[in-house]
């Protein structure tokens, strides 16, 4: 069971960790658009890492 980590390079912090069993890439994209939209709107560099 792996995790995907959503990381904001501008803020230098982890925004969330998501289990790959429950969150596929489509659902993770939805979460980025809704839950972390402020970072995206401000032009922050968001990285999705496997961890």
Residue 26 pLDDT exceeds 80: yes
CB 31 within 8 A of CB 16: yes
Q: Which residues of 1-51 form beta strands (DSSP E)?
A: 3-8, 13-19, 46-50
pTM of the model: 0.82
Mean pLDDT score of the chain: 92
Q: Enter the tokens of residue 22.
A: 């429950």
**Number of structural domains found in the chain:** 1
d(CA 23, CA 32): 12
Structural domain range at position 7: 3-50
What is the band of 1 on the pLDDT scale with cuts at 50, 70, 90?
Answer: confident
Residues 6 or more apart in contact with residue 13 via CB below 8 angstroms: 7
């Amino acid at each position: 069971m792996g995790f995907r980590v959503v990381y904001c390079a501008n803020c230098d912090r982890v925004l969330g960790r998501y289990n790959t069993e429950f969150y596929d890439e489509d659902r993770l994209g939805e979460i980025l658009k809704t839950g972390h939209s402020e970072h995206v709107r401000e032009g922050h560099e968001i990285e999705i890492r496997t961890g």
